[in-house]
Amino acid sequence: KTEDMKVGGVSIYLCVSLQGGVDNEATLTAYITIALLEIPLPVTHSVVRNALFCLETAANQKENHVYTKALLAYAFALAGNRDQRKALLDSLEKEAVRKDGSVHWQRPGKEPEADLPFHRYRAPSAEVEMTAYVLLAQLTSQPAPAQEELASASLIAKWISSQQNPNGGFSSTQ
């Protein structure tokens, strides 16, 4: 399913199934900002600066979806905004699911996993993706991640690796 959306007066087409279940301007702005910062464009570039201003406004909203928070945390980590990164990671920490010695995030209101014999549950791709963004946000700390962040990151990496299918890949929206 695709959706037509205007951003900055330019029409773009979005594949809704690739959005992690969140379809707001903050997530789209975060995706674009992350891509620009990974190029890397400097945070002083006018497009990046304006995008970060929009993301700061979005980050201050109380009703942000966990997926949006994960994207914002990584965007602010790339931008070197320690305060916003920390605030979002602290908020995400409260929503973390701790199970079997690992940590991950899931969509609010998710139905419990079915416990079936001979079948290992694998999370939907959006949950693997949002958990991976939290991992990136933790590891993209400047100057370097603290020891406690590395310990937390290892628990997240454990969960992500448990989501691999027998061929080494992950669930996909493609």
**3-state secondary structure (DSSP) of residue 152:** helix
**3-state secondary structure (DSSP) of residue 173:** coil
Structure tokens at 10: 């330019």
* Helix axes 125-139 and 66-79, enclosed angle (nearest 10): 30
Second-level CATH architecture of 2-162: Alpha/alpha barrel (1.50)
Residue with tokens 């959005």: 19
pLDDT at 97: 96
Instruction: Please name the residue ranges forming H helices in 114-146.
Output: 125-139
pLDDT at 23: 67
Query: Structure pTM?
Result: 0.84
Assess contact for 140 and 98: CB atoms under 8 A: no
pLDDT at 169: 85
Each domain of the chain, given as residue ranges in start order, spans 2-162
pLDDT at 116: 64
pLDDT at 92: 98
Q: Which of the residues in the chain have pLDDT under 70?
A: 1-23, 111-120, 173-174
pLDDT at 8: 46
pLDDT at 165: 84
